[in-house]
Structure 1
Amino acid sequence: MQFDEIVAVRKSSAAWRLLRADNAPLVLSFLGRVFVDDNIREISESGLISLLDDELYGLNQRLGEGTYPRAPKAYLDEWAAPSAGWLRKYYVTDSDEPHYDATPAVERAVAWLQSLRERDFVGTESRLNTVFDLLRQIVYGTNTDPQVRLAELRRRRAEIDAEIDAVERGEVSVLDATRRRDRYQQFGEVSRALLSDFREVEANFRGLDRQMRERIATWRGTKGELLDEIVSSRTMITDSDQGRSFQAFYDLLLSADRLDELDRLVRETQAFSDVADDRLANIHHDWLDAGTRAQDTVRRLSEQLRRFLDDQAWLENRRVMDLLRSIEASAYSVRDGRTDEFSHEIDSPSPTVVLPMERPLYHRAPTVDIESDDIEYGEAEGDSDALFEQIHVDPAPLVDEVRRRLRRHDQVTLADVLAESPLSQGLAELITYLSLTDESFTKIFDDATTQHIGWTDEFGARRTARVPRVIYSRPRTTGPGDRLDAIETQESR
């Protein structure tokens, strides 16, 4: 970096301002623990004030009264001010209480501080293997020559065949503790970096949306040109390198096979006591929650943009009405002779004549005679009780069943729920499961994967329905303990 570039970053970077702040240890320790370590993406003002009050009380008790004399809300207002830019303060739908989220500047500052720690072990072998894999993907993934691709595939097949032969002979090569620790260290760094990247992706999406709103507010052209500009801008967001990379990552993470494999690999890795880290035990679920939140951010920005355009259309309609009233006032002044000089051109000196006989005459509709003599009343055959039978499925027990499964798992599928509690009311109960809504969990439909749900009807016949994969998961807006308390409170009600 050049000297002038470093000076510009020093003046404009919020992360640099955070590192230079007088209360930087408080900001970094508190915000890093809440938003980075615990991966909280949204918290209410009252909840954050409560956590900061406990933090300030403990520091004042340990460092002396008056070390941090201000109220917790005063600190939050200072950190969320534009001059600081360390917290994002906003309002969510159906809530009058502000909510907070950390900005990417906090992620960068915390990551930089963590990089300053002395490490007793620095792995290099796994990084070298990763470099080779990435270079092979770049070179052979973009090469269109079939011979080159076939040569690489044969080389990889030869390596796999040699490894298979060695295993069949009983020569099993396993990773020792050092190499296993090396790879786990790299896995932890990449996993935490991904969570940090999601928050930066959200910030970039909001920045593009602000630029688009500014473009709309200062537009002076026609409405058609404005719509073309908006459509191209939204396409630019989704078709950008960042948008395509994020969508590819999210689609890959939603793949049922990949998600199951990732969950299995993480659980088996945590079984090694020398590399296990509790913060990485559910990292793939944190990825899914962060990716879903980024998708929700884009959806909310689109809805807000639509409402903004509706307001612009209302202003244009009001301008049109003002023009119409002006035309009416001018017409009244001409009618009353209040305008001395008035002239108007007409298209033709004579009107167009249409004779009445050129139109078709009225024809009366023919009358149809209906004979109602000798009518025989019919009798219904069969039992009509089935017409009055109604099936009602109470959703409350189904919600309780999903909650019970989510006590032991962060997310479950519909097939997991039905494995313990099969369908007893047939298709109506299955449809009720698909339409469940509750504040204690969220529901995701994976259209890329289908599942077969079976049940036995009242006649003893076996029925099967093919439906998309349904995933019920806990919400990630608060800490794990708070979510369990909220579920138990809801069940007690």
Structure 2
Amino acid sequence: MRALLQEHPAWVLLRSRNAAAAVVLLERHLGAARRRLPVEQLADRIDDDIPELRRAGFELPYSGWFYVSEWIDEGVLVRRRAAPATSDTATETVELSDGALVALRFVARLGRPHPAVTPSRLGAVLDGLHALADEADPDPEARLESLLEQRAALDARIERARRGDSAPLPPEAAAERAREVLALAGDIPADLARVRTELERTDRELRRRLLESDGSRDTFLDDIYRGVDHLAESEAGRGLVAFRDLLRQAEHRAQDDVGRVLDSVHLAPPEASALRRLLPTLQDAADELTDTMTALRRALQRMVRSGELPAERALRRLLGEAQDAALAAAADVPAGTEMRLTLRLGDVAPRSPGGFVPHNPGGEDAEAPEAAPAAAPRPVSLTALRAMARDSEIDVDELRGHVNDVVDGAGRATVASVLAAHPATQGAASVVGLLTLAEEHGTTTGGTEDVSWRSSRGVARRAVLPQHQFEERVP
């Protein structure tokens, strides 16, 4: 229970210092049918709302980015990446976690409490209890007797309806029953969020099982290769499939029922709007979860069929060895100890264009288009490759040679003297590289100096920089 208190997102949110403001902001921007927003957009909207909440007395000293990051770290928000249809770049979005949905639902019930006991609710409980007792009774004679009683009651209702003696529910009772339906439906988004969390947990377990296997062609690996859907066979997957099938079977009847309720029952505008959006929201959520499960299944198959599984196992083993070494050294190496490991700038290892694998957006199930005739191989110049590398990286080796050349001749050098002796072949990038070397290996004089160079287009440039002096060769 202590771990649940400290780790469950619902309790973390409700116990936070600014819980009331957080509930208002999350419900306003991610509640109802909105569900998901890009991270930047959510942070900007919260920034717009913070002044209003401060005037209301809430202490919110930070910006929207701080609160969004904190909610992500605490598990209140779930961060996902989605590729928009109009762009090639992925967009990072956030949505409420299942725990956050539980917390918001709990607060909503506190703000709109229902009567403690209503006849309709008590009747639903008693009817459910009676149906459970009948269906669980092992005696077939007792079950038959119960069904005959139900048929007799239904025949009596039909006869009263034919005589015109049956009356509809009173308006207040009908409205109360509609609110109870909405209250029950309000718990479904949290249930679906838990299904998604469980599907992702199952996917991680399947991947871990693949990576921890010894590489032999066991039954589990063969199942994945053949396309067996272990996600759909999990408890969460079976629940999702049953939910989707039930929703599809009852779709048309439920739409008609919603229309009849709206025509005959007087509801407040927010309640009528929630009832009208009920089916589309559930259908969208079911479709999205189905797409998620399909994408996870395809990713598992791609992982096995691509032949990259041995490399993934090797990487996992190396990471485990590195973690073990770090844990072994933790007792002797204090936290914050400087690790003298550097990466040299300009070290570019060009790869062959044949090493790039085109991405198939349709996954393994899509039919690949006919391959175009392969073009004749063209010779690749090493000089051209080096020129391409220089366009994206600062040539530190060249700059180091220029500095050492001036130091060997004059005994000392500055950035200005190096540029006077050797032109900046990469324009401003050469100046930045020299200044970086000066800060690392030179000595500051406390003064400034004028430096000049020509850009890659031949335009004269000039700047005033802090003066550093090289007194020995740069290693």
Please give the per-residue CA displacement for 1:35-84, whole angstroms capped at 9, x wherever unaligned: 23x232332223323322222243245548xx434332232222212xx1
Please give the per-residue CA displacement for 1:158-208, whole angstroms capped at 9, x wherever unaligned: 112211222333312321234223312210111111122111111111111
Please give the per-residue CA displacement for 1:308-355, whole angstroms capped at 9, x wherever unaligned: 334654636999xxxxxxxxxxxxxxxxxxxxxxxxxxxxxxxxxxxx
Q: Do structure 1's residue 211 and structure 2's residue 205 form an aligned pair? A: yes
Evaluate the alpha carbon distance shift between residue 261 and residue 23 of structure 1 in structure 2; reply closer, same or farther with a 3 A threshold. Answer: same
Classify the secondary structure of the residue corresponding to 2:167.
coil
Contact 1:89 1:99 (8 Å CA) reproduced = yes
Aligned position for 1:180 = 174
Q: Do structure 1's residue 107 and structure 2's residue 101 form an aligned pair? A: yes
Contact 2:224 2:301 (8 Å CA) reproduced = no
Contact 2:30 2:37 (8 Å CA) reproduced = no
User: Pick from 81, 95, 110: which aligns with 1:91?
Assistant: 81
Contact 1:253 1:259 (8 Å CA) reproduced = yes
Evaluate the alpha carbon distance shift between residue 318 and residue 45 of structure 1 in structure 2; reply closer, same or farther with a 3 A threshold. Answer: closer
Please, what TM-score do these two structures have when normalized by structure 1?
0.55
User: Pick from 279, 285, 297: which aligns with 1:302?
Assistant: 297
User: Pick from 18, 23, 29: which aligns with 2:13?
Assistant: 18
Please give the per-residue CA displacement for 1:252-273, whole angstroms capped at 9, x wherever unaligned: 2112xx2222112212222322
Q: How does 1:397-436 map to 2 (within 5 A)?
A: none
Classify the secondary structure of the residue corresponding to 2:79.
strand
Please give the per-residue CA displacement for 1:89-117, whole angstroms capped at 9, x wherever unaligned: 12113433211111111111112223334
Instruction: Please give the alpha-carbon distance, in whole angstroms, between the structure 2 residues aligned to 1:137 and 1:245.
Output: 22
The one-letter code sitting in structure 1 at the alignment partner of 2:176 is D
Evaluate the alpha carbon distance shift between residue 51 and residue 135 of structure 1 in structure 2; reply closer, same or farther with a 3 A threshold. Answer: same
User: Pick from 250, 254, 257: which aligns with 2:244?
Assistant: 250
Q: CA deviation at 1:288?
A: 0.7
The one-letter code sitting in structure 1 at the alignment partner of 2:82 is V
Evaluate the alpha carbon distance shift between residue 151 and residue 245 of structure 1 in structure 2; reply closer, same or farther with a 3 A threshold. Answer: farther
The one-letter code sitting in structure 1 at the alignment partner of 2:300 is L
The one-letter code sitting in structure 1 at the alignment partner of 2:124 is T
Q: CA deviation at 1:19?
A: 1.5
Contact 2:175 2:266 (8 Å CA) reproduced = no
The one-letter code sitting in structure 1 at the alignment partner of 2:248 is L
User: Pick from 283, 291, 298: which aligns with 1:288?
Assistant: 283
Q: CA deviation at 1:304?
A: 2.2
Q: Do structure 1's residue 198 and structure 2's residue 186 form an aligned pair? A: no
Please, what TM-score do these two structures have when normalized by structure 2?
0.57
Contact 1:32 1:107 (8 Å CA) reproduced = no
Instruction: Please give the alpha-carbon distance, in whole angstroms, between the structure 1 residues aligned to 2:40 and 2:268.
Output: 37
User: Pick from 266, 285, 294: which aligns with 1:273?
Assistant: 266
The one-letter code sitting in structure 1 at the alignment partner of 2:93 is H
The one-letter code sitting in structure 2 at the alignment partner of 1:72 is G
Aligned position for 2:30 = 35
Classify the secondary structure of the residue corresponding to 2:256.
helix
* Percent of residue pairs identical: 24
| Greater RCO structure (CA 8 Å; 6+ sep) | 1
Contact 1:91 1:99 (8 Å CA) reproduced = yes
Instruction: Please give the alpha-carbon distance, in whole angstroms, between the structure 1 residues aligned to 2:235 and 2:103.
Output: 25
Contact 1:30 1:52 (8 Å CA) reproduced = yes
Please give the per-residue CA displacement for 1:399-458, whole angstroms capped at 9, x wherever unaligned: xxxxxxxxxxxxxxxxxxxxxxxxxxxxxxxxxxxxxxxxxxxxxxxxxxxxxxxxxxxx
Aligned position for 1:73 = 65
Instruction: Please give the alpha-carbon distance, in whole angstroms, between the structure 1 residues aligned to 2:207 and 2:51.
Output: 43
Instruction: Please give the alpha-carbon distance, in whole angstroms, between the structure 1 residues aligned to 2:139 and 2:122.
Output: 27
Instruction: Please give the alpha-carbon distance, in whole angstroms, between the structure 1 residues aligned to 2:312 and 2:19.
Output: 52
Q: How does 1:341-490 map to 2 (within 5 A)?
A: none
Instruction: Please give the alpha-carbon distance, in whole angstroms, between the structure 2 residues aligned to 1:166 and 1:314.
Output: 69
Aligned residues: 307
Q: CA deviation at 1:14?
A: 2.0
Aligned position for 2:214 = 220
Classify the secondary structure of the residue corresponding to 2:187.
helix
Instruction: Please give the alpha-carbon distance, in whole angstroms, between the structure 1 residues aligned to 2:184 and 2:82.
Output: 31
Evaluate the alpha carbon distance shift between residue 313 and residue 223 of structure 1 in structure 2; reply closer, same or farther with a 3 A threshold. Answer: farther
Classify the secondary structure of the residue corresponding to 2:218.
helix
Contact 2:210 2:221 (8 Å CA) reproduced = no
The one-letter code sitting in structure 2 at the alignment partner of 1:164 is I
Instruction: Please give the alpha-carbon distance, in whole angstroms, between the structure 1 residues aligned to 2:297 and 2:236.
Output: 18
Q: CA deviation at 1:302?
A: 1.2
Aligned position for 2:115 = 121
Q: CA deviation at 1:85?
A: 0.9
The one-letter code sitting in structure 1 at the alignment partner of 2:69 is D
Contact 2:78 2:95 (8 Å CA) reproduced = yes
Evaluate the alpha carbon distance shift between residue 291 and residue 95 of structure 1 in structure 2; reply closer, same or farther with a 3 A threshold. Answer: same
Aligned position for 2:393 = none
Evaluate the alpha carbon distance shift between residue 11 and residue 194 of structure 1 in structure 2; reply closer, same or farther with a 3 A threshold. Answer: same
Classify the secondary structure of the residue corresponding to 1:40.
coil
Evaluate the alpha carbon distance shift between residue 151 and residue 190 of structure 1 in structure 2; reply closer, same or farther with a 3 A threshold. Answer: same
Contact 1:104 1:199 (8 Å CA) reproduced = yes
Deviates more, 1:103-112 or 1:162-171: 162-171
The one-letter code sitting in structure 2 at the alignment partner of 1:128 is L
Classify the secondary structure of the residue corresponding to 1:172.
coil
CA RMSD of aligned residues (A): 3.2
Contact 2:37 2:94 (8 Å CA) reproduced = yes
Q: Do structure 1's residue 45 and structure 2's residue 35 form an aligned pair? A: no
Evaluate the alpha carbon distance shift between residue 142 and residue 87 of structure 1 in structure 2; reply closer, same or farther with a 3 A threshold. Answer: same
Instruction: Please give the alpha-carbon distance, in whole angstroms, between the structure 1 residues aligned to 2:2 and 2:72.
Output: 24
Aligned position for 1:131 = 125
Structure 2: where are the runs of 5+ without partners? 315-475
User: Pick from 41, 48, 54: which aligns with 2:48?
Assistant: 54
The one-letter code sitting in structure 2 at the alignment partner of 1:76 is V
Contact 1:126 1:183 (8 Å CA) reproduced = yes
Instruction: Please give the alpha-carbon distance, in whole angstroms, between the structure 1 residues aligned to 2:152 and 2:203.
Output: 51
The one-letter code sitting in structure 2 at the alignment partner of 1:27 is A
Contact 2:199 2:236 (8 Å CA) reproduced = no
